[in-house]
Amino acid sequence: MLQFDRRVGPDLGVTYPSRETPAWYRDAKFGVFVHWGLYSVSGWATPRLPGETVPVELEYSHHQYAEWYANTVRIPGSPTHAFHEQRYGVGRSYEDLADIWETPAFDPAGWARLFAECGARYVVPTAKHHDGFCLWGTATTPFNSVRRGPRRDLMADLAAAVRQEGLRLGFYYSGALDWHVSCFPPIQSLTDLFTLRRNDAAFARHSFEQMAELIDRHAPDLLWNDIDWPDAAKAAGPYSLSELFARFYERVPEGVVNDRWGVAHLGYRTREYQSEAQAAPWVWEATRGLGQSFGYNRAEDERHLLGRTELVHLLADTVAKNGNLLLNIGPRADGALPEEQVSRLRSLGEWLRAHGGAIFGTRPWVRHAEPAGEAVRYTLGQDGRLNVIVLRPEPGALRLAGDLVEAARGTASWGAEPARVDESGNVTIPEALRGLPAAVLTMKAPF
């Protein structure tokens, strides 16, 4: 996967503001991504099992992301093209699906309540993906959810519900790609991803005005741009990216942006279906779907989804490395949340209710794990206590690293229960912790 923080484009003489990543974002640790849009009507992509790869020449014709349907369906011979003609008939375009999209099961208050209950601190819905369909009542194009399909401002409804639950709000926006207003052939390679896009001044203004609407109407805490931004906007001047950032930060002083703008300004780095190798000196965010697609993919089943224990371990590993986890759920077109995804969110929420002190508001310690030996992750609480997150605890003994033993004696505990630490650093793991995805031993930090 790409490292977007390394794509900063040419120096066009623009100086961007130097800003610290806001404390709220660093403290949040866990957010929910929501990929829901016109692509949810078809809700199909070539399924791919975890770790499965395809030859590089087939990566785009056999794309695993259902939200890429509008591109994949245009590739002759692709499984998506065959699925589309079988399901919708010859001659019906992707954009025609806007007239059959209905959302009777959309319950924004229920969504937001679920996200809060599962421990999320921020929510990032897709306001506009690469297909160009806007999920709000924009004045920039009739290709939107108020004029077509749902006949509803989906972003306004969800934004209000998220704020009602006391959660931070972000918006995903596809800044570089908008297939609705472009006449390029389908993307079929990584090179195409960055060359088959509009970079002219008219499109730069179009993107600016769409993003400005979202900022002015909702004052989102976070802007999650994707792929890049039109190059015509990267110099100073009206409708420029520097002007957009200034507008955002004036409206939201504690706002934060990601690293996918193609310029040398970011609030945090993103890693898609990837992780950092160790605790990073920068703030970053791991993002992925509960399955192998972000948008709902009807072709996926339990084999394609993260296990409940894997999910807890992913969060613990990410936080220990100075990251946040932005975990995606892909609603069905009608607004119903797939139960197999909801159940996983609920299981993560159950673990966080018991062990959230080892996650929320923490910072990385001097190392995130042990190079060999015990399967643990470390986080440092704001009270100065060290959290030892034990992965797959089983009754028996946890052997602490040598530099932890002295500090652990008399200070270590499993929640409210004091821990027994012998002179060799062996800590007895209580029987009650058997079967948990992870358990947390807290202790005085040794230094």
Do residue 202 and residue 277 come from a single domain?
yes
Going 242 to 182 to 148 to 37, the CA torsion angle's sign is negative
- Give me the tens of pLDDT residue by residue for the chain, a chain 447 residues long: 688 998 888 778 898 888 999 999 999 999 999 999 999 999 999 999 999 999 999 999 999 999 999 999 999 999 999 999 999 999 999 999 999 999 999 999 999 999 999 999 999 999 999 999 999 999 999 999 999 999 999 999 999 999 999 999 999 999 999 999 999 999 999 999 999 999 999 999 999 999 999 999 999 999 999 999 999 999 999 999 999 999 999 999 999 999 999 999 999 999 999 999 999 999 999 999 999 999 999 999 999 999 999 999 999 999 999 999 999 999 999 999 999 999 999 999 999 999 999 999 999 999 999 998 899 999 999 999 999 999 989 888 899 999 999 999 999 999 999 999 999 999 999 999 988 999 999 999 998
Q: Take residue 86 and report the two structure tokens written for it.
A: 């079988």
Q: Would you tell me the crossing angle of helices 241-251 and 201-218 to the nearest 10 degrees?
A: 0
Going 244 to 245 to 250 to 254, the CA torsion angle's sign is positive
What pLDDT is stored for residue 18 in this prediction?
86
Q: Take residue 359 and report the two structure tokens written for it.
A: 């996650």
Q: Which of 328, 358, 388 is the last residue of a domain?
A: 358
Per DSSP, the three-state class of 289 is: strand
**Distances 181 to 22, 71, 327, 377 between C-alpha atoms, Å:** 35, 13, 30, 47
Do residue 230 and residue 277 come from a single domain?
yes
Do residue 20 and residue 57 come from a single domain?
yes
Cα(34)–Cα(157) distance, integer angstroms: 14
Question: Do the domain assignments include residue 365?
Answer: no
Q: Are 108 and 157 in contact (CB under 8 A)?
A: yes
CA-wise closest residue to 257 among 175, 177, 322, 318: 175
Question: Do the domain assignments include residue 366?
Answer: no
Do residue 208 and residue 290 come from a single domain?
yes
Question: Do the domain assignments include residue 364?
Answer: no
Question: Which CATH number characterizes residue 156's domain?
Answer: 3.20.20.80
Cα(167)–Cα(121) distance, integer angstroms: 5
Question: Do the domain assignments include residue 369?
Answer: no
Place of tokens 């908008």: 178
Do residue 240 and residue 389 come from a single domain?
no
Do residue 284 and residue 382 come from a single domain?
no
Do residue 104 and residue 42 come from a single domain?
yes
**What helix, strand, coil percent values describe the chain, rounded to 5?**
35, 15, 50
What pLDDT is stored for residue 397 in this prediction?
83
Question: Do the domain assignments include residue 370?
Answer: no
Number of structural domains (the chain) is 2
**Distances 175 to 102, 153, 198, 204 between C-alpha atoms, Å:** 26, 20, 10, 9
Compute the residue count for the chain: 447
Q: Which of 309, 332, 358 is the last residue of a domain?
A: 358
What pLDDT is stored for residue 372 in this prediction?
86
Do residue 213 and residue 282 come from a single domain?
yes
What pLDDT is stored for residue 13 in this prediction?
85
Do residue 45 and residue 166 come from a single domain?
yes
Going 140 to 145 to 151 to 152, the CA torsion angle's sign is negative
Write out the residue range of the structural domain in which residue 433 sits: 376-444
Query: What is the biggest distance separating any 2 CA atoms in the chain, rounded to whole angstroms?
Result: 75
- Residue 268's φ and ψ, nearest 5 degrees, are -160, 160
Question: Do the domain assignments include residue 79?
Answer: yes
Do residue 178 and residue 41 come from a single domain?
yes
Do residue 349 and residue 383 come from a single domain?
no
Question: Do the domain assignments include residue 344?
Answer: yes
Cα(18)–Cα(242) distance, integer angstroms: 12
Do residue 334 and residue 418 come from a single domain?
no
Going 236 to 239 to 244 to 250, the CA torsion angle's sign is positive
Question: Do the domain assignments include residue 367?
Answer: no
Cα–chain center distance at 264: 21
DSSP-assigned letter for residue 373 = S
CA-wise closest residue to 378 among 416, 352, 404: 404
417-437 as b/e: b if 16+ CB within 10 A: eebebeeebebebeeebeebb
What pLDDT is stored for residue 1 in this prediction?
67
Element (H, E) at 324: strand 323-329
